[in-house]
Amino acid sequence: MAAVQRLIGAGRMPYVFLFPNFVFFGLFVFLPIGINVVFSVTGGPALFPSERPFVGAEQYAYLFDCGSYLDPSSCREDHFWRGVWNTAVFVLFQVGTMVLVSLVTALVLNRPIRGRGFFRAVYFFPVLLSPVVVALIWKWILQRDGLLNAAITSLGGQKILFFVDPSWAMFWAVFVSVWAHMGFYTLILLAGLQAIPSDLYEAAEMDRTPRWRILRRITLPLLWPNMIVVIVLSLIKGVQTFDEVFVLTGGGPGTATLMVVQYIYETAFANQVQNFGLAAAASVVLGLVLFALTLAQLAATRMKER
């Protein structure tokens, strides 16, 4: 390396340090973004861009060819819209539950309780598990002769086929996802709670303010920036959900839990006819949504810093 420096001079060394990383960024991020757009406006089965005939906005028109956007079955590409709506429902319930559960957990963990570190670790542990492992654990518990059905029948109930009933399948998709990730969001909220100056609480206690009013007037308003980070982050991750749900339900029953990412993956790789153009068009649409959400996140983070 000393020879390199003698050759190009110390002033150009920063470029040497940046070089490997930017080769990777270029090959696997910048170049692909460009190719993705090219793919989405070309057709045919070829993988190499120059062999793909230009079709203009045809892929997008095909995706958006709907009688009514609210009814996936009226769309030509009904699986895409099923994915969109399933993802929307999933994200809505997931974010709502996530915020509520991690807020309660963070508030409890912020109290002067014994073994706080242990409990924090307990809630955090599933965050480290791989989505496949998470899905398999719950699949094992929720199967027809599984632990949960054993509990239900011992209480005098009937076995429930959780993955045959569409609403149950969606419920468990949300539940498992919250189970796996709530520890992460709890940690973000906990960091926010611990940053609230304690003299505020001391003053409030001096005035004999009731606990619930302290919560409403001090804790929640000061925690709000962290809450926004949690909401936006879980939104972004929710829109990208694939692995857990895919292994848990396979997108089923039917298409009841098919997410938009699974649609993209299957259109490009798993279907009999691999349609790269259509998958690319769908991912450009998804990318725009994520871009908007990321801008919101950046704005939220800036707000938190202020």
Partner 1 sequence: MAALARLLGARRDGPGRPLHWTDIASYAYLAFGVVLMFGPVLWLVFSSFKTQSALLEFPPSLMPMAQVEVTVPGQPNPLPLFRATLPDGSVKDLAQIRRVGLVVQMVDPAEPDKTYRVAIDKREPVRKVALATENYTEPLRQFAFLRFLSNSLFVTVVATAITLLINSMAAYGLAVYEFRGKAAATLAVIGTLMIPITIVLVPVYLVVTELGLVNSLWAVILPGAATPTGVFLLRQYMLTLPRDLIEAARMDKASEWQIYWRIVMPLTLPALAVLAIFSIMWRWNEFLWPLAVLTKTEVYTLQIGLAAFQGELQTQWHYLLAMTVVTLAPVALVFVFLQRFITTGIGSTGMK
Does residue 263 belong to the site contacting partner 1 (CB under 8 A)? Answer: no
Q: In three state form, how does the secondary structure of 62-90 look?
A: HHCCECCCCCHHHECCHHHHHHHHHHHHH
Does residue 20 belong to the site contacting partner 1 (CB under 8 A)? Answer: yes
Stretch that binds partner 1, among 55-63, 74-82, 88-96, 235-243 (CB under 8 A): 235-243
Does residue 122 belong to the site contacting partner 1 (CB under 8 A)? Answer: yes
Stretch that binds partner 1, among 72-80, 84-92, 217-225, 264-272 (CB under 8 A): 264-272
Residues with Cβ within 8 Å of 127's Cβ and at least 6 positions away in sequence, in order, are: 180, 181, 183, 184
Nearest partner of 123 among 133, 115, 135, judged by Cα: 115
Instruction: Give the phi and the psi of residue 294 in degrees, each rounded to 5.
Output: -65, -40
Nearer to partner 1, 5 or 73 (CB): 5
Report the alpha-carbon distance of residue 206 to residue 112 in Å, rounded.
19
Nearer to partner 1, 68 or 144 (CB): 144
Strands annotated E in 146-258: none
- Binders of partner 1 among residues 194 to 223 (CB under 8 A) are 211
How large is the C-alpha radius of gyration of the chain?
24
Instruction: Give the phi and the psi of residue 203 in degrees, each rounded to 5.
Output: -60, -45
Nearer to partner 1, 170 or 176 (CB): 176
Give the nearest distance from C-beta 38 to partner 1 in angstroms: 8
Please answer whether residues 134 and 244 qualify as being in contact, where contact means their C-beta atoms are separated by less than 8 angstroms.
yes
- Binders of partner 1 among residues 62 to 121 (CB under 8 A) are 104-105, 108, 111-114, 117, 119-121
- Binders of partner 1 among residues 130 to 189 (CB under 8 A) are 130-133, 136-141, 145-147, 149-150, 153-154, 179, 183-184, 187-188
Q: Binding residue for partner 1 (CB under 8 A) from 174, 256, 261, 300?
A: 261
Does residue 191 belong to the site contacting partner 1 (CB under 8 A)? Answer: yes
Stretch that binds partner 1, among 78-86, 88-96, 217-225, 285-293 (CB under 8 A): 285-293
**Alpha carbon distances (Å) from 46 to 51, 63, 262, 264:** 6, 20, 22, 17
Give the nearest distance from C-beta 82 to partner 1 in angstroms: 18
